[in-house]
Copies of this chain bind each other. A is one copy, B any other.
Amino acid sequence: MSYDLASVSGQIAALADGAETPVTLAEQALERESANRDLNAFVALDPDIVLAQAEAAARRRKTGSAASPIDGVPIAVKDNYLTRDYPTTACSNALPADAGGIDATVVARLRAAGAVIFGKTNMHEWAYGATNSVSSFGPTRNPHDRDRITGGSSGGSAAAVASGIVGAALGSDTGGSIRIPAAACGIYGFKPGYGRASRNGVLALSWSLDAPGPLAARLDDIGHLLPFFLGRDRADPSTFAASPMRSADPVISPKLVSLTGSGLERSDDVEAAMQAALKQAGLAVPPVELTQVASYFAAWETILHCEATAYHRQRMAQDPAGFSAVTCAHLMAGSQLTAQELLEAQAIRTHFTELLLQSLGEWDALVLPTLPVVAPIAGEDWQAFGGRKVTTQDSMTWFCWIGNLAGLPAVTVPVPNPVSGLPVGMMLMGRPGRDEELLAIAGLMDRRINGKDRM
């Protein structure tokens, strides 16, 4: 029997069958990391620390006392999650936000289940950008084409999974930072709905937009990791109303809707990949026009800059050299906005959320490309598509911010690209509190598009 050892679910099966041990899995991951060091996926990784965890897991498994099915499975962690074993730098030049010693809640839950915490992954400085080109450890490279960016800010996590080093990695998402690199690197990424997942111990970017979540090689890997994210955490007040993970209600014929309009353009090859995938899935996705996209996007940006500036105010005063010039510029913008501008952005956000959830009619999932373009070539400052020319940064968050501004759960699923073969992601966004149903819909589409369950 062969196992898909690039995935969490394959590793779980191989461990359960005794075909692999936690130590052999850790050694293979370390070897693949060495072989792919040019990706610059990891910023802290100590083989001794990894192997010590793997050996402890192996002992548990040998004595039949495995803590959980993932006991011994290596999981990589974005460098804005606090970890007991490594310092946390958010890939900035500032003093480490934490020197090590504490685990974020999600990391602690995984560790308690026996997962092997496999180093810290490279990210866009402070998660304040979507290219992964700005990092104190240098940019990450895309495993599908080393000349291309991974996207970000969870670019190291995406590169680590897409190159087969680990089956899953932790990320965080304020305007697409999980979904963008997952799509650009051809893997799966999931952002839970706002307030559903614990952020305790994950450095903030913008507290009303941030969500932590997994990137993974397969959609069922997301399912394996989700219980460690979802549910109430006494250390994170934003989760006080969160329900624990549950079984999805049956999804027979989900109502899908796509959004169109000025500000929602995409390149021809992304559109071709989307159409081919939807045809393959045999699902109707009627378009609904969304107007005033630019004002909603501006509201997202205003809230992001204001909250990030408040979060970094003290550090900016004490350690200004810890921020790149571009991040400084963002923080200056945030400090100059008025209360009236912020209030207007918050009011637009409320209106936008009501518009999506109430006025758009019934829907189970909104369907959009995750990115309007394939992974850009490193060094390209601009992207042209659909009659637009926008900064590479803006092209990365082009669709994803919608899920953060409205607090929706959102997942990206890789789909075949008949034009260039470079990864293309299809994004599905669900209703608040319906994370489980969204993943069930994504599973249905994934089987039809990428699996054997084709129509």
Q: Which residue of B lies closest to A344 (CB)?
A: B310
Beta-carbon contacts of A285-320 to B below 8 Å, as 1s and 0s?
000000000000000001000110110010000000
Number of residues on chain A facing chain B (CB within 8 A): 22
A240 to chain B, nearest CB (A): 7
A343 touches B237 (CB 8 A): no
The residue among A240, A340, A347 with the most chain B CB atoms within 10 A of its own CB is: A340
Beta-carbon contacts of A348-390 to B below 8 Å, as 1s and 0s?
0010001000100000000000000000000000000000000
A179 to chain B, nearest CB (A): 26
B343 touches A307 (CB 8 A): yes
A240 touches B309 (CB 8 A): no
A340 touches B309 (CB 8 A): yes
Q: Is A335 an interface residue (CB 8 A)?
A: yes
Partner of A340, one of B306, B347, B354, B358: B306
Partner of A342, one of B309, B339, B350, B354: B339
Stoichiometry, copies per complex:
2
Q: Is A63 an interface residue (CB 8 A)?
A: no
Q: Which residue of B lies closest to A351 (CB)?
A: B237
A87-B306 Cα distance, complex, nearest whole Å: 40
With A240-B358, A358-B240: A310-B350 Cβ-Cβ less than 8 Å = no
Q: Is A403 an interface residue (CB 8 A)?
A: no
Beta-carbon contacts of A114-148 to B below 8 Å, as 1s and 0s?
00000000000000000000000000000000000
A333 to chain B, nearest CB (A): 10
Interface on chain A toward B: helix, strand, loop, or mixed SS?
A: helix
A237 touches B350 (CB 8 A): yes
Residues on B with beta carbons closer than 8 Å to the beta carbon of A350: 237
A313-B335 Cα distance, complex, nearest whole Å: 22
Partner of A313, one of B306, B337, B340: B340
Q: Is A338 an interface residue (CB 8 A)?
A: yes
With A237-B354, A358-B240: A341-B340 Cβ-Cβ less than 8 Å = no
Q: Is A189 an interface residue (CB 8 A)?
A: no
A310 touches B343 (CB 8 A): yes
A343-B204 Cα distance, complex, nearest whole Å: 15
A339 touches B344 (CB 8 A): no
Residues on B with beta carbons closer than 8 Å to the beta carbon of A171: none
Q: Is A334 an interface residue (CB 8 A)?
A: yes
Q: Which residue of B lies closest to A310 (CB)?
A: B343
A341-B309 Cα distance, complex, nearest whole Å: 11
Partner of A337, one of B306, B334, B339, B354: B339
A437-B328 Cα distance, complex, nearest whole Å: 51
Q: Taking A306-B340, A335-B340, A342-B342 as given, write out 14 further A-B residue pairs in contact, using a Cβ cutoff of 8 Å, ordered by the A residue number.
A: A237-B350, A237-B358, A302-B339, A306-B343, A307-B343, A309-B339, A310-B344, A310-B347, A313-B340, A334-B340, A335-B338, A338-B339, A339-B339, A342-B343
Some 5 contacts from A to B, beta carbons below 8 A apart, are A237-B358, A240-B354, A240-B358, A339-B339, A342-B343
